[in-house]
Structure 1
């Protein structure tokens, strides 16, 4: 399918109800309000077994360039991580102005060979959404990189403890999410994260005109590990 065909479908699949939700969450006015279920259906039309990855990545580039929130979210779902370059990832990051798109782009970059270096660069960036990207990417790596030892993640717990309360709002949320991801990786990291969370204290995040709440570290990890025990 071509970019024009996909974009026309995005326009047709949008709803005012979903658009209103996206507006409340701060995703910007350039959105059709396409549900994630519909985005998943469109993804299947572009990627999967037997699909042309080069074509899908080209369409993803066009979707991103459109500036539309729904199109950019879909772009992160269909782009090929192996074709994404550091320069392209950085160019896309420069366009990110909301936390949902930051998390979606982090999910794409997590599959690249430069994910660790990119996470470090974004975590040290001065602006809110690159920081959010960095910590969202760290969360993905904590969940997906089975080869990394706990020692690799420990310095990030120290950094987050030192910086979280002074961080910009959505970067702070990303840091809190990273602690949860790290605390779910191993029992040893869980103890380190919980000790750090006790010293950090309550975390206040402005979620705007939504019902979203900030998860507290210890109760969240207790539930997470209880589910792990049941599954085991």
Structure 2
């Protein structure tokens, strides 16, 4: 089947089924990806499909509604951030069940005009993958939203500190990721981020301490210091 921009959600799902790969499904499972509904489509394959079908926001919503892992990845890659609404983003986040889906969607969400609102909402949501989304978005925006001033990213340090004691694996890793990315963004971001990392590394809380020590290790590495000179 040849996919085109006029292909329907049903056409795309039918094509995905033909690409089912049991070895890939097993590999994804080993990396902590929920494979309950997966066909095992790789990221390069998914990106090829997205290039073939182009953006179509309504079709992306239809793909998401299937509940299939691979269809939802295709939905994220072909949704239009200019048409995506806050309610749609929040509904999708409520369905998140894997770090992979979270981190892919975070890139889409940070392209919207309201991404800061989503960060604040998601950070206060107690669901593990929704809260991870907030910090994955911060980590991504720090790198990709180059028009954002440094002060805008530094403003997230208190949020990082507030959630640094969340022990859940996918949250703590994203909080750590956000802190490290802010610290690596520029010379002006490095000092404040490193100060927070050092503060957390001295915490009595084991999760905060791990986040801090890991961030200090990277932010004081020769490679990072040389790049920021």
Return the offset for 1:92.
Answer: 0.6
1:6 to 1, 12, 15: 12
Cα distance in 1 for partners of 2:52, 2:115 equals 27
Unmatched runs of 5 consecutive residues or more in structure 1: 48-52, 206-214
Q: Cα gap change, 1:39/1:189 in structure 2, threshold over 3 Å: closer, same or farther?
A: same
- Bigger shift: residues 19-28 or 37-46: 19-28
Cα distance in 2 for partners of 1:14, 1:70 equals 10
Residue aligned with 1:82, SS: coil
1:218 to 216, 219, 224: 216
Q: Do structure 1's residue 17 and structure 2's residue 13 form an aligned pair?
A: no
CA contact (8 A) 1:184 1:224 kept: no
Corresponding position of 1:30: 37
Q: Cα gap change, 1:167/1:204 in structure 2, threshold over 3 Å: closer, same or farther?
A: closer
CA contact (8 A) 1:165 1:200 kept: no
Return the offset for 1:228.
Answer: 4.2
Corresponding position of 1:108: 108
Cα distance in 1 for partners of 2:10, 2:42 equals 19
Per-residue CA distance 1:30-85 (angstroms, 9 max, x = gap): 101111111011011111xxxxx4xx222211211111111111111111111111
Corresponding position of 2:4: none
Corresponding position of 1:150: 150
Cα distance in 2 for partners of 1:153, 1:224 equals 22
Q: Which structure has more RCO (C-alpha within 8 Å, separation ≥ 6)?
A: 1
Corresponding position of 1:174: 174
**What's the RMSD between the two structures over aligned residues?**
2.4
Corresponding position of 1:199: 199
CA contact (8 A) 2:164 2:207 kept: no
Unmatched runs of 5 consecutive residues or more in structure 2: 1-6
Return the offset for 1:16.
Answer: 0.9
Per-residue CA distance 1:164-221 (angstroms, 9 max, x = gap): 133432111111111122112111212222222222229769xxxxxxxxx9323434
Cα distance in 1 for partners of 2:52, 2:70 equals 16
TM-score (norm 1): 0.83
TM-score (norm 2): 0.84
